[in-house]
Amino acid sequence: MNIAILNYKIGNLASVQNALAYASKELKHTTITIESNPYNLMRYDKIILPGVGAFGDAMEHLRISGMQEAIMEFAKSGKYMLGICLGMQLLFEQSSEFGEHRGLGLLRGIIEPFDRAKLGALKVPHVGWNKCFLTEEGKKNTLFLGLEEEFYLYFVHSFCNRDSQNVLAQCEYGYTFSAIVGRDNIFGIQPHPEKSHKVGLQLLKNFVSL
């Protein structure tokens, strides 16, 4: 199993690589590579799209680096891919972060800021541990093997998705938003599995095992 973590100058690649290596250490013949060459993507069995920062900047980096086109081709191949934090948000059609920006469009829905009027005393960004709840679709998905229907993950974000048709797990922060999404071979996790201890490592291990 050959897995690529995409390097497009956005995100903490080392922490994702270390967590993924630890999560997959019991799985034989698994190699993890930080990949910056878009022409190499089809050589891999799975790819991971990490990311921190602003949506528009990230999409520009993907475009300039050639990764955007390569990711779209990879997605068409049916091979599994996973977006983490900002990487999950990039999977959607659009974001309103610092203007209107088009995303990869691999999942239907938009990324929008938390509605402060509905948060009460809750602060933005949403930082810390919060409980996630599997949807009915999530309960059927092998990404969650070995996990309970409710579990805690670590979040750091100011923007979220609320209207996706592909929600596998939800979270509450003033109101409900999408914590984990997926359709066919495309998955996205809003919180940071690499910072979420046993549950996050189990999610990464399950992704490798898909």
pLDDT band at residue 99 using 50, 70 and 90 as cut-offs: confident
- CB-based contact 79:45 (threshold 8 Å): yes
Model pTM score: 0.95
Active site residue 192: yes
Which residue is catalytic, options 35, 61, 85, 97? Answer: 85
Spell out the alpha helix ranges (H) of the chain: 13-23, 55-65, 67-76, 86-89, 116-119, 136-139, 197-209
Cα 108 from Cα 126, distance rounded (Å) = 23
pLDDT at 10: 79
Q: What is the DSSP letter of 104?
A: -
pLDDT at 78: 96
Residue 77: give the domain boundaries: 2-209
Q: 15: domain CATH number?
A: 3.40.50.880
Q: How many domains does the chain have?
A: 1
- Over the stretch 121-162, which tens digit does the pLDDT of each residue have? 999 999 999 999 999 999 999 999 999 999 999 999 999 998
